[in-house]
Structure 1
Amino acid sequence: MPITVDIFIPCFVDQLYPTTALNMVKVLERLGVDVNYNPGQTCCGQPAYNAGYHPAARAVANKFLEDFAAPAADTRRYIVSPSASCVGMVRNSYTDLFAETPAQQNACRGVQDRVYELTEFLVGVLGITAVPGAQLAGSYTYHDSCSALRECGIGPGPRQLLDGVVGLQRIEMAETSTCCGFGGTFAVKFEAISVAMAQQKVEHALETGADYLVSTDVSCLMHLDSYIKKEKLPLKCLHVADVLASGW
């Protein structure tokens, strides 16, 4: 019996990187997963939460819980997203948001137990370490996003999947797990520090000579790509879903 997943497309992916969302769907469907999309979904509430507007974040999070409540007959239905940042928000920060609202805590736990970032779903749930037909010529270096590594505990999975792409070679950069400097509102409040951190990350990537800089988080890649384009540097940023959907 095919696995059915509900996909969560973060607001910034929906508005700025819709191709990445479509590529995630292509990958899931190629692996035989039935994909369901609720067009009424919006945001996980992370921007408001990080800015300190917790009542507003709670209202948005409540909608998320309603949008992704499991059907009565399928309580183990997975929620999959192309953003470790948003998954980390749901898994960790929702506990804080709903600490004083017992009525919502069961609904919160029910969603937290089922939400996965794309690569951890592919590797941890489906047992996939290579997507059939994926191929991309060149070399890549990988950025461990803070949310993926520290909030979601995502380790070698993304690299396993990327290493399974035909024609693609991995070259590790220095300080791969160091923050890129985005951090949501951090990049706005502390612009100079944020840019300096992006510069350091990009320089480490360039030192490898890789063609692509790949990560699980479009937010990090958006930040790094803006610096790369401003400085006209020879490096292309790709989300892992874009790589896994390449070549077919």
Structure 2
Amino acid sequence: MPVSLALCFDAPMQSWGVRSHGVIRDTAREPTKSGVVGVLAAALGVARENDAAIARLAALQLAIRVDREGVLERDFHTTQNVPTTMGTGHRTVVSERYYLADALFLVVIHGDPGLLADAAAALATPRWQLFFGRKAFVPVRALFGAPGTAHGLSDAPAEVVLERHPWLELDSRIRATEHGKTDRLRLRTVSDCPPRTTGAEVRHDVPVRFTQGDRRHATRTVATGSVPLTSEMIPAGDPSCS
């Protein structure tokens, strides 16, 4: 039975906030657990208030391969007529919002085969709009292969998918250049791991509640690493996540 679901996160802009409060809205350098669960929940039509369904999705293991790092960018948003803290007038608030430009990720989800199959089917015909951190940041290509294919489902564990899945880069010029550099380029990875893993890092991005005004998160531990970009991973045609 399938145990992993491989997805392609490709968009001109993506934003994966970790401490997105107040006037400074940050972004992580790769998709967060909360962000990936949000994409799955939107596809499945899971309401923000459905804590049990959110918990099932959050229990899935997550592994990320960075196929293109992207560039960290910043823009400014101006909001007028914001009430003052004293309630005696209004003010204009300027916020700084960070995002990743031209980033590309292989997102591998591992766990309950039935839930993964449901998620794959829902991503093919999502209930609600899918976006990567902000509603304007929508995917530019399918999250996995075309209808009628395996939809990214695999029997392989997540770490094997990270090592063997075709590179998602679409630019044929870049792919041709890397053909002559077998194993020289390494792709960064970030994967869920047990807390006692050597070098484990703590991330506070596991969604507990998505309710507007009462969002809550828990922590997880991740291991960062890399896998070599081999010639076998560079497809001759357009790559997909199937």
TM-score scaled by length of structure 1: 0.26
Higher relative contact order (CA 8 A, sep 6+): 2
Higher strand share: 2
Higher helix share: 1
Structure number with bigger Rg = 2
